[in-house]
Amino acid sequence: MKKRINKLLATFIAVMAWSSSAYAGCTNAQFAGTWDVVFTDGNSCKLVVNGAGDILIAGDRSQSVCYDPFRGVTEPDSGTVSVGSDCLANINLGVEGVTLDMLVRIANPRNIGAGGFVIYFPGVPNPVAKGALTMIRAE
């Protein structure tokens, strides 16, 4: 019985060590680049992120842009990304006065991610919509 417990403990420690190293060391700089984001509500965005965690929102179409199937193409008003060392990214995006808060886990080798989002309308304290999202690094 003692050997079995020791084996289970050793396996548990090995799995914990491997899983923590798989996500170790994520930074905003590793998140920099162009990401295609698809939301479960039908919307999508191309987000261009710099090494400091800012979503580039210049009027140039080569920067960030979003698409709503009912309203068409629009440019974000603001956006920031904060990546934790555990590769969990908090993304805040403002589009036409609406705020999207996203929480995304970035997978190794730092080119795909998945998570969830909530949408807040101005003056409304509770989220008005929520869902899932996937991301893939385009460049």
What is the residue extent of each domain of the chain? Answer: 25-137
DSSP designation for 62: T
Q: How distant, in Å, are the alpha carbons of 12, 20, 118 from that of 6?
A: 10, 21, 44
pLDDT tens, N- to C-terminus, the chain (139 residues): 444 433 433 433 443 334 444 545 788 888 999 999 999 999 999 999 999 999 998 765 569 999 999 989 999 999 999 999 899 999 999 999 999 999 999 998 889 999 999 999 999 989 899 999 999 999 7
Between 3.40.640.10, 1.10.1060.10, 2.40.128.30, 1.10.3720.10, what CATH number should domain 25-137 receive?
2.40.128.30
Using alpha carbons, list the distances in angstroms from residue 38 to 67, 97, 106: 10, 20, 15
The answer to pTM > 0.85 is no
